[in-house]
Amino acid sequence: MSWLRCCYACDEAPGSLDATLTALVSEGEEALEWQIVQKSLDSAEFSKLLQLRGRLCDCDEHPACEEQKLSRQPQTLLRFLRARTSDLRKAETMFRAMLDWRQSFGVDEKISSWRKELGQQRTQRSIQMRRFETDVDLCQDRHGVPIRLIRTSVADVPGLVREFGKEIVLIDTLLRMEEAHQHIRRAMFEREELVCGQLQIIDMGDYGRVPNLASRLWSSLKLAAEISQITDANYPETVRKAFIIRLGSCTSMTWRYCIQPLLPERTQAKLIPCGPKASSWQQHLAEEVPSLAALPAFLRSDAPEALAVAAPQGGMVPKGLAQGQQGCWEARPKPRVPRAASGLAPRRHTLHRSLSEGWCAKMQVIFFSAIAFAAGALAVEPVSLL
């Protein structure tokens, strides 16, 4: 542990240095993780991280740490330290509140149960939640972490809540957050370097396939803000960069000059608003992925044929789809009929006009303003948008 001892300067209890170090690490994966994190930080930040670990040693026995010792993971502790701009007291308070929330909500049990239900695809709600999902993993970024595509513009979150309940929508979001951190930690160990979050692409384009974009954003506003506050408080520093694509020019300017200056600096650096054309984000994305060719065609081109097959397709959730019991009953999945075969061809729209005129542009501004202020109130970045 000489590598650790030489970097540790405990301001609070210098006389108990050896005892504190012994409590910090153990052999195997934990010791390797401390070495990986230490190599990526300057001595001042690493010293703060060690002090935070010293403050949280008692959390090793917290019920929320039974499955994984979150309080012993330096990469996890670092996220909370950075979310509170290296303020030890605030970072400690935030971390302890996260553990209490995980225990009271039963995060591990609920996520494990939902993951199994989704995998089996036996219940009505698991089948339909998968059918109407609008968040998917794409290719890996330059750090080996899957890029997350979030197609807000084709999502019908109010419909999912109406049919299957708010809690299952929240649990589904938490499952994605947990998986994101699993990918980030796996990449850290595989590459033996600190990986600071996931890359997200948030698609706001109105492709004309799913109607009523403005009203859907308005209906989603309250729930999105609620979920954002939960994820920001308990999964800070999840996002490395978030590209918000196919925004209208009005929305982009409002965001850049009216909303973004109000956000914390770390958040400002992570959120990248982009216009309605692929050329507005291609150069930035090229710096983050091994090859742009690995991305779906609609993220590389504005050609009508590429936009027509943009996926996941999402869609409006029919009323009565749950058919009682919020869809918990067992059902056999039916093969999904392609839209072209069913005669539901997408309507033709001029993409730029759809995004920059009327309620769509206004709702984009209002929607992201609410999310930004919800996250800004916590001084952490918005990490998940529905």
User: What residues of the chain score a pLDDT lower than 50?
Assistant: 1-3, 5-18, 21, 339-350, 352-357, 373-386
Residue 371 class from Cβ within 10 Å (0-12 exposed, 13-18 middle, 19+ buried)? buried
User: If you write DSSP's letter for every residue of 146-193 in order, what string do you get?
Assistant: EEEEE-GGG--HHHHHHHH-HHHHHHHHHHHHHHHHHHHHHHHHHHTS
Nearest Cα residue to 54 out of 97, 103, 108, 4: 4
Model pLDDT, residue 121: 94
Pairing of strands 135-140, 146-150: antiparallel
Q: How many CA atoms lie within 13 A of 99 on its CB side?
A: 24
What residues does each domain of the chain span? Answer: 2-105, 108-376
Nearest Cα residue to 241 out of 296, 202, 183: 202
Model pLDDT, residue 295: 95
Residue 250 class from Cβ within 10 Å (0-12 exposed, 13-18 middle, 19+ buried)? middle
Model pLDDT, residue 352: 44
Model pLDDT, residue 363: 56
User: If you write DSSP's letter for every residue of 235-266 in order, what string do you get?
Assistant: STT-EEEEEEES--HHHHHHIIIIIGGGS-HH
pLDDT digits (tens, 9 = 90+) for 308-335: 999 999 999 999 999 988 989 888 766 6
How far apart CA 230 and CA 385 sit, in angstroms, is 11
Query: Tell me, what DSSP letter sits at residue 330?
Result: B
Model pLDDT, residue 31: 87
Query: Tell me, what DSSP letter sits at residue 123?
Result: B
How far apart CA 181 and CA 165 sit, in angstroms, is 25
Virtual torsion, Cα 383, 68, 63, 177, nearest 10 deg: 20
Question: How many C-beta atoms surround the C-beta of residue 25 within 10 A?
Answer: 18
How far apart CA 25 and CA 4 sit, in angstroms, is 9
Q: Which pTM value belongs to this model?
A: 0.82
pLDDT digits (tens, 9 = 90+) for 254-289: 777 777 776 777 777 788 889 999 999 999 999 999
Model pLDDT, residue 261: 75
φ, ψ (nearest 5 deg) of residue 122: -110, -30
CATH number of 108-376: 3.40.525.10
The answer to whether residues 47 and 76 touch, using CB atoms and an 8 Å cutoff, is no
**Token pair 């970045």: residue:** 381
The per-residue b/e assignment along 98-122, b for 16 or more CB within 10 angstroms, e otherwise, is: bbeebeebebbebbeebeebbeeee
Instruction: Name the maximum alpha-carbon separation found in the chain.
Output: 76
If DSSP codes are grouped into helix, strand and coil, which group holds residue 199? strand
If DSSP codes are grouped into helix, strand and coil, which group holds residue 234? helix
